Structure formats: C-alpha cells, structure tokens
Structure 1
C-alpha cells in the first residue's frame, strides 16, 4: 500500500483550512494514521513536502516507526524541514536522484518579556535536539553533527545520503 505526504504538514484541526480555505495540498497525522493497513503489510510513504508543523510530523514519524510492517519512505522531490523528520521513519529510505532534504533549526513566533523569550528559546533548543535525534537514530551519526548541520540550514541531496549507507537511491 502507498500513502502520500504532500504539501504542508499540519495538525488535524487545521488541515481543512489549507485544503478548502486556501486550496493547498496538505497532510495531517489523521491522513496517515487513519489509513495505515491493519494487517501489518508493507507500506510505502511517498514524500513531496516543503514541511510544516514539527508536532504533526513527529506524530506521523512515531506512528510509522511503531507500524508493525516494513515501511519504505520515498523522497520523490522534496522532504524539507518537518517532512525530513517523517522521511527518517522508514525502515528503508529511498530518494530520487533529483530530490533533496533540507534541515534547519526549529522556529516560532514569540512575544512577551525576557522570561517568556528565554522559555521559548529553551523550548526551541529542546525541539532541535529531538529532531536531531531522529536523524541520528536513522544514520548512526552523532546528534551534535546534525545540530551543527541544522544551525547552517543544510540542503542534502541523494549523493550525500548515499554516503551515509542507510539510504538507497531510487532511480524509478
């Protein structure tokens, strides 16, 4: 079975705002979790997304990691930002020769006094570490390496992923 992660990754409550209100492609956790096979059969996840909300991506990532069958994530064009987290959930990660991932630090909007901004900064640093952990778990490379790459906003192509040996280049 194949499921697709397309467009903006958002929470279940806002997905229809993007789809019907704005006419955008969007994916929410319920789109994936509600359509997982119940028999544990193999699952392909096609990804072409500019990213979106970290919490929604984390929910999809966790569901795919817990799925009892084999999961293949296929980066068809783009797995940017939050979509790159979902890509790491595959037992196998395939990437088109022309596709890319983009990783960066988490971001948000904040207001308030210096204490509020300190709390927000600490929350973002914690989120960065959690995201880097997903990349580290998949590749076996240190979390610190990914934190440094995220600091620089790094674009990663198929050749780089292939060097990490856990990735298989798809040439379909």
Structure 2
C-alpha cells in the first residue's frame, strides 16, 4: 500500500511539473522576444504585460496563441504586420510548445540564424515573408522535419531552399 501511495505522489509531482515547465520557459521566451525586437509602434510594449500572475495571462498578449487558455504555453507566435524591426528575434526557442512562428510583413533584417533548425525544431509553420532578411538560406532548415509551411518570399535571401 505504501508503494502505491509513493507511486501516486510521484505521478502527481511529475505531471504537475510538466505544466510548470511550459510556464517557466514560455514567459522568459516572450520576454526575450520582446526585448530583442524594435517595437516602433509600441504594440508589444503596450499589450505584453508580465506583471500578472494569473494562469493563462500570456494567452491575452497580442500575437500569442496558446494551446489552452488556462495554461501559459505558447502554441504559436503570430507577430505579422506589427511594425517590428531588427534582426531575427532572440528567445523563441524557449517556447517549448511552439509549433508556429509568423514574422511576416515587418522590417526584420539580417541573416536567418544558421542554427534555426536546432532552435525551432518543433515548428510546423514558419513565415518570414515580406521582411528584409538577407544572406543565404540556412542549410540546416532541411533538419526541420515537422515543417509543413515555409514562406520566405520578398526578402533578400540567396540560394535554394534545402531539400
């Protein structure tokens, strides 16, 4: 009987820690993204308020789509048409449940990170269109095995999309 109770306790501890895992990493993920972009229109600054401690508060942020409104786990970041600038944002790899990233129709510039497949290996959709990304398309994109949608049009990228 004591072994059954220990097993149940261990089970509940492990299952509750996975919920915390998403929250613990997704909030720093979004903070890092916010700090690494130039937000000339103040959209992220005005809508991404990290002062709340309520469950699911990040799901109310502009461009943040969550798996469930009662969890702080990012499913996708849809930051299209927000007037954002700068290099490829820092931190999205820390959103552990993220499967979609849309940075289209902004003014991001510079290279696409060469280690993008390592940073964003769970992505099923990636839209970087209508920006000013430059340089070659990273060969490592071929390692993004879950990627179903890739949009790179209207940038200054060179080379071919890897097989």
Do both proteins adopt the same fold according to a TM-score greater than 0.5, normalized to the shorter chain? Answer: no
TM-score of the two chains, using structure 1 as the length reference? 0.33
Please tell me whether Structure 1 or Structure 2 has the larger radius of gyration of its CA atoms: 2
Whose strand proportion is higher, 1 or 2?
Answer: 1
RCO higher in structure (CA 8 A, sep ≥6): 1
